[in-house]
Each structure stands twice: as C-alpha cells, then as structure tokens.
Amino acid sequence: MSLDNSQHNSDRPPETNVKFWHDPAKRAVLFQVLLVGAIILFATYIAINTLNNLEQRGITTGFSFLNETAGFGIPLSLIEYSEASTYGRTFIVGLLNTVLVAVLGIIGATILGFILGIARLSDNWIISRLAAIYIETFRNIPLLLQMFFWYFAVLRTLPSPRQSIEFFGSYLNIRGLSMPAPVAESGFSFVVIMFIAGIVATWLLTRWAHKRQDVTGQQFPIFWSGVGLIIGLPLLAFIVAGTPISLDHPELKGFNFRGGMTIIPELVALWLALTIYTAAFIAETVRAGILAVPHGQLEAASALGLPKVRTLRLIIIPQAMRVIIPPLTSQYLNLTKNSSLATAIGYPDLVSVFAGTTLNQTGQAIEVIMMTMAVYLSLSILTSIFMNWYNKRMALIER
C-alpha cells in the first residue's frame, strides 16, 4: 500500500496532489483533534451522570463537609483530636498517621534490608543461605497476608489488660504496649538546644577536618568527636539542669490503662509487616548495587593497601549507593503506598479514617477519593523530582 503511494507521488509534484490523509503531519493533527473531542464527550457524559446521581441521592458537591463535625473517635492521633473535631481535621490526623508508619517502616526496612543485602553476599554459606531464604520467602507472600498474620495470629493472642505482661513499668496486653511517657519539665528546652548545637558543631568540625586533610594530609577523629558532641553535650546539659524529665506511668483503671503512652497493636502489626516485606526488596537492591561495583575497584583498593573496612567505606559504598538509591527511593514510595493496607486491620491511616469512615458518613465519594489520591500522587511526584535532582547531581560528580 505505502509503496504504491510513493510511486504515485514520484510521478507528480507532491505538494499539489497529496491528500491530507496521506500527510502524516495533517493526519496527526486530525487524530489528536478527534481524540480530544472523544475525551471531552466522555467526560461530559460522566459529569452529567454524576450530577444526576448525586442529585438523586441528595448529596451536595463541594468541600464544605470538611468543616462539619466528624463525631467519631480515632485511637491514635499525633495532634489534638476529639469527636467534636471536623472532617478536615480527620484528614490531617490520617495523613500524619500515614506519615508516622511510613517513616517508621522506612527506617526499619532500610536497616534490615541493608543487613540482609550484605549478608546475602557473605562468603559464609549459612549466612548467605539464610538471607536468601528470608528474601525468597517474604517477597513471595502477599503483604496483606503477612499483616493479618502479625495482627490476628500473633498480637491478638496477647492477654487481656487485667492479665498484662509487666516489665520495667510497662504493660503488654491485647490493647497494645502501655509505657511510661516522658514528660518534659522546665529546663528541658536547654537540652534540646544543646542537642541542636551538637549537630551544628559536628557539621562545622567535619568541614574543618576535611579542609585540613586536603591541605596537610592529617586526619582528625571526626566520628568519635561527633558522637561526643551530639550525645555528650545534651547529656551534660541534662545533668546540669537537674534531670528535667519526669515519667507519666500508666495505671490500670477499669478495663484499660490510663496515662503513659500506648503503642497500639495495629501500628505494631503494620510496621512489622511493612518492614519485613520491604526489607526483602531492599536487600535485593543492595545486593545488586554492591555487585555492580567492578571487581577492579576492589583490587585497586587492596593494591593501595586499604584495610577491609576502609575499602568498604571509601570505595564500595560510595559507588554502590549511586546504583542503590534510585530503586531504593521507589521502594520507599511502594512502602508508603502499601501502608494504605492499614485499613484492613483498622490502623487509622489516611485511607482508613478518610476514604473509609469519613466517606461512609458523608457520602462525598468524589471529593474524598480525589483528596486521598492527590496526597499519594503528590508524594510520588515529590519523589520523582528528588530522583531527577539526585541523578543530575550524581552525573555531575561522575568522572
């Protein structure tokens, strides 16, 4: 077909006789106009239907419901929240709870994942086999199933509040772990200031030490002096200010514990499942990153006489991290998205309290789902912006 056309075209001058549907540029314009038209038609159809349906159900559109009183309690809230708070506040509470479990999960999964990834490459057969078994087991079992296992089969078998397991003034029972809560008293802000001062001082010291090493070649024990500054300074301030912290002990009142702070079992189950599941994926990422460092680099390092630990710190890790960080961030993003499974065990995250309870109470399906999706979407856009920035920075450093 196309061959015939080109022969035709060669007989005659092309600009006069080409039909517009044989001109790719014009055809593309036509096709795109049709496509946009079809999408607009479809969107209008959906919009009309939606408005009709909403009218029939007596639901008013708009975001005014965010100012109405929610009237339901949330078992875990990082900010002030009561049943008299608004739906807008439930959104914030849910969002913060999602962030809480995501941050905890990311910390746990990173530590466990790096240990496993390095263990997978160990020359000890038992260590590398164990890591491999761990990775292959937990990667291939649905996260929801793991979550259910931790929640229903493990944490639900804990005793009732009256038969709590007691240790160090903490109580472990089916409602969670009740612990003494530290309460800051006057003078504690001094400790916080010293902590920040320690971090700043360590940063300045590191810069100075690097500069001095560049000029004179002399090294400075940055690590230990940093530890001294960041931990020692606040500790000193803590003692000088007269230990400005008191403990709020939990007490059994009726059927439950009051006071102190309680770690709810839903959080523990979710955190365990997210950590264990994501660590398996991170371990594979770490392994691939370390294997991506060419063997010549190792040989060069040992030819320079670098000891094993320094080879790892100065040669392998900087180069491996360049390979590891892009997939690692996408694992973090996955973990954050997976934290939405919380709704299945009743951890009050964004999906559970907002797309679940709030949606059921108000019926504002479109607004609620859109807001929920927008949160996750902006997280993933932020992550990809970070990734682009990181890749550019790495590309510049590369020689």
Partner 1 sequence: MKYDPQPTLPAPPGTLGVVGWMRKHLFNGPFNSIATVVLAYFIIIFMWPVIDWAILSADWIGTTRNDCTSDGACWVFISQRLNQFLYGFYPEAETWRLDLAFIMMAALIAWLIIPKTPFKGWVAAFTLLIFPFIAFVLLSGGYFGLESVDTHKWGGLSLTLVLAVVGIVAALPFGILLALGRRSHMPIVRSLSVVYIEIWRGVPLITVLFMASVMLPLFFPEDMNFDKLLRALIGITMFQSAYMAEVVRGGLQAISKGQYEAADSLGLGYWQKMNMIILPQALKLMIPGIVNTFIALFKDTSLVLIIGLFDLLAIMQASANDPNWIGFSTEGYVFVALVFWVFCFGMSRYSIHLEKRLHTGHGNRA
Q: Which of 308, 376, 300 is nearest to 338 (CA)?
A: 376
CB of 363 to partner 1, least distance (A): 9
Q: Does 40 bind partner 1 (CB under 8 A)?
A: no
Cβ(62)–Cβ(367) below 8 Å: yes
Q: Site mask, partner 1, residues 164-183, x = CB under 8 A?
A: --------------------
Choices 13-21, 166-174, 306-314, 335-343; region in contact with partner 1 by CB under 8 A: 335-343
Q: Does 188 bind partner 1 (CB under 8 A)?
A: no
Nearest to partner 1 of 57, 399 (CB atom): 57
Token code pair at residue 273? 């499942």
State the first-to-last Cα distance of the chain, in angstroms, to the nearest integer. Answer: 51
Among 63, 152, 208, 389, binds partner 1 (CB under 8 A): 152
CB of 35 to partner 1, least distance (A): 7
The structure tokens 């996750």 sit at: 376
Choices 82-90, 265-273, 316-324, 351-359; region in contact with partner 1 by CB under 8 A: 351-359
Token code pair at residue 257? 């514990």
Q: Please give the Cα distance from 28 to 26 (Å, whole number).
A: 5
Helices (H), 217-263: 222-227, 233-240
Cβ(329)–Cβ(339) below 8 Å: no
Choices 33-41, 78-86, 185-193, 229-237; region in contact with partner 1 by CB under 8 A: 33-41
- Which helix (H) or strand (E) is 181 found in, with range? strand 181-184
Q: Please give the Cα distance from 323 to 249 (Å, whole number).
A: 47
Nearest to partner 1 of 1, 79 (CB atom): 1
Q: Please give the Cα distance from 158 to 165 (Å, whole number).
A: 9
Nearest to partner 1 of 73, 142 (CB atom): 142
Q: Does 141 bind partner 1 (CB under 8 A)?
A: yes
Cβ(208)–Cβ(269) below 8 Å: no
Q: Site mask, partner 1, residues 356-395, x = CB under 8 A?
A: ---x-----xx--x--xx--xx-xxx--------------
Compute the residue count for the chain: 399
The structure tokens 């040989």 sit at: 299
Nearest to partner 1 of 85, 343 (CB atom): 343
Q: Which residues contact 125 (CB under 8 A, 6 or more apart)?
A: none
Among 66, 179, 341, 353, binds partner 1 (CB under 8 A): 341
Virtual CA dihedral for 356, 259, 253, 94, nearest 10 degrees?
A: 0
Nearest to partner 1 of 58, 242 (CB atom): 58
Q: Site mask, partner 1, residues 2-21, x = CB under 8 A?
A: xx--x---------------
- Determine the size of the site formed for partner 1 (CB under 8 A): 57
Among 11, 58, 80, 126, binds partner 1 (CB under 8 A): 126
Q: Does 298 bind partner 1 (CB under 8 A)?
A: no
Q: Does 338 bind partner 1 (CB under 8 A)?
A: yes
Amino acid at 272: L
Q: Does 351 bind partner 1 (CB under 8 A)?
A: yes
Token code pair at residue 217? 């070649």
Q: Does 124 bind partner 1 (CB under 8 A)?
A: yes
Q: Does 49 bind partner 1 (CB under 8 A)?
A: yes
Per DSSP, the residues of 327-379 read HHHHHHHHHHHHGGGGGGTT---HIIIIIIIIHHHH--HHHHHHHHHHHHHHH
CB of 6 to partner 1, least distance (A): 6
Among 142, 169, 259, 318, binds partner 1 (CB under 8 A): 142
Q: Please give the Cα distance from 333 to 119 (Å, whole number).
A: 24
Question: For binding to partner 1 (CB under 8 A), which residues are involved?
Answer: 1-3, 6, 24, 28, 31-32, 35-36, 39, 46, 49-50, 52-54, 56, 123-127, 130, 136-137, 139-146, 148-149, 152-153, 337-338, 340-341, 343-344, 351, 355, 359, 365-366, 369, 372-373, 376-377, 379-381
